[in-house]
Chains A and B, each alone.
Chain A
């Protein structure tokens, strides 16, 4: 399957600042990537679908102006959390859609907003 990396693995930022999370597909050209958020002891929640070369599709309740997604190439999608607040603290995970339509996930990014 596809190998997916994320950077950084952990980030701490102050309230009001922005933080960018990178998701890279290392060995697979990913037309479609997904961004999830996972709060402690909860399941994954889909935030948005990222399509290479076009605008992301956001799930209901996810603010597109707060969670900026850019998918400029077949190997890189970025999620920028703008004006972060403590309630944005979470585990953010990206995934790549494989050829069989299974997903391959990145290792996740732990965001803590102080």
Chain B
């Protein structure tokens, strides 16, 4: 299983860009990187998934360097409503490790 390491918490202010980095040094060739967002007392929400280089959707961007040993979730111009826990999961599509949640990163956005 590819193990991931994320900062426990991050602080930001409204309007700033936030970058959350996830380390996954033993990522395997077939592994994908998936990020989820969770608000208190709600189920997680899928944000973005990628394999290499850069992926962008209407919510976020995911930057993956060539060695794929880390990835960075970029949230442009955060608002108070982006305060949540963000989880990085790494694993083969359909594989068990894609079901294993780490501790995640608690992002607090202040006015």
- Interface 1/0s, chain A 72-97, versus B by CB < 8 A? 00000000000000000001011101
- B102 x A43 contact (CB < 8 A): yes
| Contact of A101 with B46 in the complex, beta carbons under 8 Å | no
Contacts of A91 in B (CB 8 A): 41
A101-B93, A101-B94, A102-B34 in contact; A44/B46 too (CB < 8 A)?
Answer: no
Residues of the B chain whose Cβ atoms lie less than 8 Å from the Cβ of A94: 43
Q: Shortest Cβ distance from A33 into chain B, in angstroms?
A: 12
A contact patch SS: strand
Contact B46 A107 (CB under 8 A): no
User: How distant is the Cα of A101 from the Cα of B51 in the complex, in angstroms?
Assistant: 13
B interface residues, tally (CB under 8 Å): 20
Size class of the A contact interface (CB-based, 8 Å) = 20 to 34
Q: Which of A1, A46, A93 is the one whose CB lies under 8 Å from B99?
A: A46
Contact between A97 and B94, CB atoms less than 8 A apart: yes
Contact with A along B46-88 (1 / 0, CB 8 A): 1001000000000000000000000000000000000000010
Q: Which residues of A contact B (CB under 8 A)?
A: 1, 4, 6, 34, 36, 43-46, 49, 91, 93-95, 97-98, 100-108, 110
The interface of chain B, by Cβ under 8 A from chain A, is 32, 34, 36, 41-46, 49, 87, 93-94, 98-104
